[in-house]
Amino acid sequence: MAEYKCFKCGNEIKSEDLKKRFKCPHCDSKIFFKPRRKVKVVKAE
């Protein structure tokens, strides 16, 4: 079961919600990302 986060407002969205409507129920954004995916921190010097 995948969970997504809205790129715009940061709210969590269940994949079930996206099956009904592929947009954020909070802000109608259509851009999402998977928070489970670890973001690599790159050190810029």
Positions that interact with Zn ion (CB under 5 A): 6, 8-9, 24, 26-27, 29
Shortest separation between residue 19's beta carbon and Zn ion, angstroms: 17
Nearest residue (CB) to Zn ion, 4 versus 6: 6
> 21-42: string of b/e by CB count within 10 Å (b at 16+)?
eebbeeeeeeebeeeeeeeeee
Shortest separation between residue 43's beta carbon and Zn ion, angstroms: 30
Residue in this structure with the two tokens 């986060």, named with its chain if needed:
5
Nearest residue (CB) to Zn ion, 18 versus 29: 29
